[in-house]
Amino acid sequence: MYIFVAGVILRAIVRGGESAGSRHMNTHLVYLDNAATSWPKPPDVAEAMTRFLAEVGANPGRAGHRLANESARIVYDTREAVAALFNAGDPLRVVFTRNATEAINLALKGLLDKGDHAVTTGVEHNSVMRPLRALQERGVELSVASCSPHGFVDPDAVAKAVKPGTRLIAVTHASNVVGSIAPVREIGTIARGKGLCLLIDAAQTAGALDIDMQRDNIDLLAFTGHKSLYGPMGTGGLVFGPRIDISRIEPLTRGGTGSRSEQETQPAFAPDKYESGTPNVVGLAGLLAGVRWVRARGVEHIRRNEMVLTQQCIDGLRAIDGVTVYGGLDAARQTATVSFCVAGVSVSELGLALDEDFGILCRVGLHCAPVAHRTMGTFPGGTVRFSMGAFNTKRDIDAALSAVARLAVGAGA
């Protein structure tokens, strides 16, 4: 990663780059903000996007000429790769969106009507909570199953929240704040047993953890392309499992699809029902390269390395006086995301010092998940979040730990 970063900086200098670039000339930047978006990306991703723009470029399926067909093949191959990664079944039930947020909105607003009851949890991201709160104002009933202070979803609490009229259980696969992994299989069994839909927000886990929609009874899987699938921003999707009757799910937008052009009403079949307008094919070309890279490297392999770094990070932080680490403190039960605080110093000051003085890039605050911080008792102050990815090394964690140790001493902790 050092060489990659140095390359970027070198280019900035060669181009007479601004001071922002050269200021870091001798700094080893450590990127620990992979839960926000993964970086760097595998080189294949930029190459695939460049190739699409330079050599294909056409609007998929709007014309029928060879470049349009090639463009449509890239989109379809991406559906196929995503469906295979999640053991989803039919690639035509992979619907692309701008990101996980749009996919979650599609699932929630498309499925829930006035009078329906939905169950969610106390560690959700606002991309789940805000649309649910808005639906609540329009007559959807909502229960929030409480979680442990370490951020773990309790399947019994979820089961107890179910009542007559419940249609949906919406759960984040892993918290973006503490990384705690939800017992998806158990919740899937509950949902299946009661005939309910299960929506999983896999923004933090798609590509990072093994996901099998059929084995785990996941009906709707929302994913984002730019995190652990290593694709570009602006990509994501909603995968419909075989039990979902799409005639019961309304689209968010309607418009041109290149199909059924003689009709003035929206097509009734997937994916066209949910994909109006020209898709982000340059982004999908990058996502395809990212998913292929993840599959070639192996989710298991990536996960093993991230677990080692995560445990190193947790143990190292806990050894520093004045530092409180949140969550289960066990890498096997969380993603590569670690949240902590340092006594006597605000998280915003810490974030700024980590960046400016040490070149450690992370995210501080509430991480768009106020309910998760309430669950952990860190609301409204928030936490510092280190999140690792496939390109981080032990040395990166060493550097981050020694920076925190110096800041903690400075704070008089």
Partner 1 sequence: MRPDNSVVLVHSTSHAIKAEKLMRRAGIDCKLIPVPRKLSSDCGICIRFAARDKSRAALVLAKGGIETEGIHDLAR
Ligand X SMILES: Cc1ncc(COP(=O)(O)O)c(C=O)c1O
CB 337 to partner 1: min, Å: 35
User: Could you tell me which residues come within 8 angstroms of residue 342 by beta carbon, excluding any fewer than 6 positions away?
Assistant: 322, 323, 324, 350, 384, 404, 407, 408, 411, 413
Neighbour count for residue 192 (Cβ, 10 Å):
14
Query: Of 56 and 170, which has the nearer Cβ to ligand X?
Result: 170
- Which partner, ligand X, partner 1, none, binds residue 224 by CB below 5 to 8 Å per kind? ligand X
Is residue 224 part of the contact set for ligand X (CB under 6 A)?
yes
Is residue 60 close enough to count as binding partner 1 by CB under 8 A? yes
Binding mask 45-74 for ligand X (x = CB under 6 A): ------------------------------
Angle at 243 between CA 126 and CA 210, to 5 degrees: 60
**Cα distance between residue 56 and residue 123, in whole Å:** 42
Q: Per CB under 6 A, which of residues 101..120 are in contact with ligand X? A: 101
Residue 61 in the binding site for partner 1 (CB under 8 A): yes
Using the rule CB under 6 A, give the single segment among 38-46, 97-105, 134-142, 285-293 that binds ligand X.
Answer: 97-105
- In this structure, are strands 220-224 and 197-201 parallel, antiparallel, or unpaired? parallel
Number of residues that bind ligand X (CB under 6 A): 12
Q: Does 236 bind ligand X (CB under 6 A)?
A: yes
247 burial (CB, 10 Å; 0-12 / 13-18 / 19+) is: exposed
Phi, psi torsion values for 213, nearest 5 degrees: -60, -35
Residues 122, 109: Cα–Cα separation, whole Å: 20
Tokens of 313: 């990070």
**Minimal distance in Å, beta carbon 87 to partner 1?**
16
135: which residues sit within 8 A by CB, 6+ positions away? 108, 109, 112, 118, 142
Which region, judged by CB under 8 A, interacts with partner 1, from 24-32, 153-161, 252-260, 397-405?
A: 252-260
Give yes or no for residue 137 binding partner 1 (CB under 8 A): no
Q: Does 201 bind ligand X (CB under 6 A)?
A: yes
Closest CB to ligand X among 224 and 310?
224
CB 207 within 8 A of CB 252: no
Interface with partner 1 by CB under 8 A: which range of 8-16, 75-83, 143-151, 202-210?
75-83
Gyration radius of the chain's alpha carbons: 22
Report how far Cα 392 is from the mean position of its chain's Cα atoms.
Answer: 18
Q: Which stretch binds partner 1 (CB under 8 A): 6-14, 90-98, 126-134, 395-403?
A: 90-98
Residue 180 interacting with ligand X (CB under 6 A): no
The nearer residue to ligand X, 33 or 201, going by C-beta atoms, is 201
Span 262-291, contacts to partner 1 by CB under 8 A:
262, 267, 269, 271-272
SS3 content of the chain, % helix, strand, coil (to 5): 45, 15, 40
State the burial class of residue 99 (Cβ atoms within 10 Å of its Cβ: 0-12, 13-18, 19+): buried
Cβ atoms of 328 and 346 within 8 Å: the answer is no
Q: Which one of the spans 94-102, 112-120, 139-147, 356-364 is the region binding ligand X (CB under 6 A)?
A: 94-102
Q: Does 78 engage in binding with partner 1 (CB under 8 A)?
A: no
**Contacting positions for ligand X (CB under 6 A):** 99-101, 125, 127, 172, 176, 201, 203-204, 224, 236
**Contacting positions for partner 1 (CB under 8 A):** 60-64, 68-69, 72-73, 75-76, 79, 90-92, 257-262, 267, 269, 271-272
